[in-house]
Amino acid sequence: MKKLLRQMFTAAVAAALPKNVVALHMPRPPKGRTVVVGAGKASAAMAQVLEKNWNGPLSGLVVTRYGHAAPTRHIEIVEAAHPVPDATGQAAAARMLNLVRGLTKDDLVIALMSGGGSALLCLPADGITLDDKRAVNAALLQSGAPIVDMNILRKHLSAIKGGRLAQAAFPARVEALVISDIPGDDLSAVASGPTIADHSTFADARAVIAKYRIEVPPAVARHLVLAKGETPKHLVNTHAVLIASPQKSLIAAAAVARQAGFKPIILGDAIEGEAREVALVHAAIALQARRFGQPAKPPCAIISGGETTVTLRGNGVGGRNVEFLLALALKLNGAAGIYALAADTDGVDGAAEVAGAYIDPTTLARARTLGIDPYAELSNNNAHTFFERLGDQLITGPTLTNVNDIRIILLSA
């Protein structure tokens, strides 16, 4: 069962790998120059594939997470910090903005955008410092806010996000290739939409601050109140195409389950909410299937995607997938024949260099044998340590893509 879980996860990741999707969606070459820009955990791998398949000269710059670089000849790769931005990311964003300025209508900008780009493409708006942005980013990560709300605020504190990169590139044609990690595949939210018109406002950004009770530095509060330089609401000569998405990856995982004799049930690709609360719903569905054969009779596979959140209350480091699994294990309480995996397709769950973990009917019993209190670990947001001690972590290293989380529950016959 563990092997099948891993095979399903691997198939989901493969469906979103740049080497399998970028070449299928390349734009037509321009009369003039081709400039490549990009940001995100998959951006370097995307640049590598684009460069290998492009017919003609090109140059450019993309920024990716430390450890996610790929070798290229003509496109410069810069590694920077994620999820809290650093000065390297700021410098790369400033250079990127300058690269696209002064282009003509005969030129082409190819923007390679993927999850993680919001933190990596950090260029504070006038009057805001990098430390201000870091403070806001850290507060957002602990607030429990969903990614769409996070990015509304990020756009309004930035000089490059929310369509501003495409605005600077005008009149050049801008073509964005996007690997989505956003529930619902809102392309304006991937990497905070540097090349896509933004329909949120400063008022929306202030509402995010209020809703999640986020304390912001004085300069940030002043910037949001002054509300100068709204994000562009309409852009011309720009286009974006979704080349990989959570749903496509869920379908790939479902195909593996079906081939193994398990009926797949995809609950949705955009499930959000507190990880431990989402786990309760998934557990209820699994137990219903086990007891009554609804929504499917075992053997079956319950599959979902999206991005849950963790509101940090304890001393642990969080990790939405492992928190989901620990809460799931507690609710299942050792129910026979139920196994699960939850992991982030980029290979990093929260702040830990771990993709996720596995559970099986023996998880709680093994923990208690080791003197571990599962309830205490969940209350302390310490699920990564819990699964590390059990030897049930899923460690993949950087996958060089990112279509958010995948959760799989297998029910044996």
Residue ranges and CATH numbers for the domains of the chain are: 18-244 (3.40.50.10180), 247-411 (3.40.1480.10)
Query: What is the arithmetic mean of pLDDT over 188-197?
Result: 96
For residue range 287-327, list pLDDT tens digits in order: 999 999 999 999 999 999 999 999 888 899 889 999 999 99
User: What are the percentages of helix, strand and coil residues in the chain, rounded to 5?
Assistant: 40, 20, 40
For residue range 244-298, list pLDDT tens digits in order: 999 999 999 999 999 999 999 999 999 999 999 999 999 999 999 999 999 999 9
Between 51 and 83, where is the model more confident?
A: 51
Instruction: Tell me the pLDDT band of 142, cut-offs 50, 70 and 90.
Output: confident
Query: What is the arithmetic mean of pLDDT over 152-163?
Result: 97
Instruction: Tell me the pLDDT band of 241, cut-offs 50, 70 and 90.
Output: very high
Cα distances from 45 to residues 70, 80, 83, 277, 321, in angstroms, run 6, 15, 19, 35, 25
Residue 84, pLDDT score: 87
Helices 320-332 and 275-292, axial angle in degrees (round to 10): 40
Residue 244 · residue 400 · CB < 8 Å: no
Residue 33 · residue 103 · CB < 8 Å: yes
Residue 351, pLDDT score: 78
Residue 184, pLDDT score: 84
Q: What is the rounded CA–CA span in Å between residue 186 and residue 197?
A: 12
Query: What is the arithmetic mean of pLDDT over 95-121?
Result: 97
Residue 313 · residue 381 · CB < 8 Å: yes
Average pLDDT, the chain: 96
Q: What is the rounded CA–CA span in Å between residue 321 and residue 194?
A: 28
Query: What is the arithmetic mean of pLDDT over 104-120?
Result: 96
pTM of the prediction?
0.91
Question: In this model, does residue 182 exceed pLDDT 90?
Answer: no
Residue 118 · residue 154 · CB < 8 Å: yes
